[in-house]
Amino acid sequence: MTLFITRVFTALTLVVSIGSHATEHVVRMLNLDGDQTMLFQPAFVNAKVGDTVRFEPTQTGHYVRALAVPDKATAWQSELDKPFTIKLEQEGLYFYMCPPHLMMGMVGLVQVGNAVNLDAVRKSMQSSKGRMYSNSARIDALLAQVK
């Protein structure tokens, strides 16, 4: 009986310690940062399964919508000027934008583990690039960071 209790306690300790290593990444939604306009800061996040991303509307007029996510993940959309958190439960790339400011290149990318959906995300990003009248080079800069 003592051996059983020891094993259960060890297993529970392991589960709790694994969950406690998740990281919360904070992405700010900004109108202006230095000489850059309409941006997510940081625009690229490298995360692990189980991490969260909290989108903070640091300045007004922003919300976030997922345009491409891994196959088993659920796309999301936040409310205007409200903080929003997603839990990253699937490996792959998560491409997102601020809908009112897509035309100004307000896009971002989260990589969780391997880029298993790179082709689909690249297609979505190239399509979005065609709708931007400024900052379209951000698409290429984000793709260049994918490993």
Structural domains of the chain, with CATH: 24-144 (2.60.40.420)
Average pLDDT over residues 128-132: 95
pTM of structure: 0.85
Average pLDDT over residues 60-84: 97
Task: Return the HEC string of the chain.
Answer: CHHHHHHHHHHHHHHHHHHCCCCEEEEEEEEEECCEEEEEECCEEEECCCCEEEEECCCCCCCCEEEECCCCCCCCECCCCCCEEEECCCCEEEEEECHHHHHHCCEEEEEECCCCCHHHHHHHHHHHHCCCCCCCHHHHHHHHCCC
Q: How confident is the model at residue 13 (pLDDT cuts 50, 70, 90)?
A: low
Summarised one tens digit per residue, pLDDT across range 17-62 is 455 689 999 999 999 999 999 999 999 999 999 999 999 999 999 9
CB atoms within 10 A of CB 14: 10
